[in-house]
């Protein structure tokens, strides 16, 4: 069975490559914003774990329609603080505001994963707690330098743990790779159940 990674994220591609399983990249055609908007109207009290699992499943479903004979791996990551979701920033100003808001606090990173075939569905999530250093002149300078690179713009919460944004972190409880975008150890264990060629 062919493994399809339904994501354009270079970080997820890099992590999946660690497993040694051959795979092809085919980003999902799922419109995350539309799916999120629908759920906010039908189920406004949906918790973060359920939300990322549903988003990952929706992405996998969209890809399975295009690749019905394959194993689809889709994932979604959200950052939240006190019930507020931090998606991808709209622009550099938004990224800076997000990072300043997260400073000095512990936020939650939920990553949902869906492994989907025509005959089976395995959906799960991983939760981590990330604490940022307090907002000081040093931290603000780092935020400005990081935002100037443009790197935060394609990431939930406006940071990547594996790059300059990692310097904002004082502590992490959970899975480093899940915060990066894919709980790859758990994914590897589950992929071994499939006959991937």
Q: What is the pLDDT of residue 87?
A: 87
State pLDDT tens for residues 19-60: 999 999 999 988 877 777 777 667 666 688 888 999 999 999
> Which residue in 71, 70, 61, 77 sits closest to 28, CA to CA?
61
User: Is 196 contained in some domain?
Assistant: no
| CATH number, residue 105 | 3.90.950.10
Domain membership of residue 197 (yes or no) is no
3-5 and 24-25 beta bridge pairing: parallel
How confident is the model over 93-147, as pLDDT tens digits?
999 999 999 999 999 999 999 999 999 999 999 999 999 999 999 999 999 999 9
What percent of the chain is modeled with pLDDT above 70? 96
Residue 135 forms part of a structural domain = yes
Q: What is the number of domains present in the chain? A: 1
> Do the domain assignments include residue 127?
yes
Q: Which residues are catalytically annotated?
A: 76
Residue 169 has pLDDT above 70, yes or no: yes
Structural domain for 98, as ranges:
3-191
Q: Is 34 within the bounds of a domain? A: yes
Percent of the chain whose predicted confidence (pLDDT) is above 90: 84
- Whole-number pLDDT of residue 33: 74
Would 171 be classed as within a structural domain?
yes
pTM for the model: 0.91
One-character DSSP codes across the chain: --EEE----HHHHHHHHTT----EE------HHHHHHHHHHH-TT--HHHHHHHHHHHHHHHHHHH-TTSEEEEEEEEEEETTEEE-S-SSHHHHHHHHHHHTTSEEEEEEEEEEE-SS-EEEEEEEEEEEEPP--HHHHHHHHHHHHHTGGGGSGGG--TTSGGGGGEEEEES-HHHHHT--HHHHHHHHTTS---
In a domain, 96, yes or no: yes
Residue 145 lies in a domain: yes
């Amino acid at each position: 069975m062919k493994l399809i990674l339904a994501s354009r994220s270079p970080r997820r591609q890099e992590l999946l490559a660690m497993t040694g399983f051959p795979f092809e990249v085919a980003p999902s055609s799922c419109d995350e914003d539309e799916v999120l908007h629908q759920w906010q109207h039908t189920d406004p009290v949906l918790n973060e774990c359920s939300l990322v699992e549903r988003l990952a499943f929706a992405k996998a479903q969209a890809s399975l329609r295009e690749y019905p004979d394959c194993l689809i791996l889709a994932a979604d990551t959200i950052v939240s603080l006190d019930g507020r979701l931090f998606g991808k920033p709209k622009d550099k100003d938004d990224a800076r505001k997000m990072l300043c808001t997260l400073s000095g606090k512990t936020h939650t990173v939920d990553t949902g994963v869906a492994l989907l075939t025509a005959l089976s569905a395995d959906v799960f999530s991983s939760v981590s707690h990330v604490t940022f250093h307090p907002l000081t002149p040093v931290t603000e300078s780092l935020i400005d330098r990081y935002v100037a690179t443009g790197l935060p713009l394609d990431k939930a919460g406006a940071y990547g743990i594996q790059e300059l944004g990692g310097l904002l972190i004082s502590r992490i409880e959970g899975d480093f790779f899940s915060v990066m975008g894919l709980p790859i150890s758990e994914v590897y264990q589950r992929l071994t159940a499939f006959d991937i060629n």
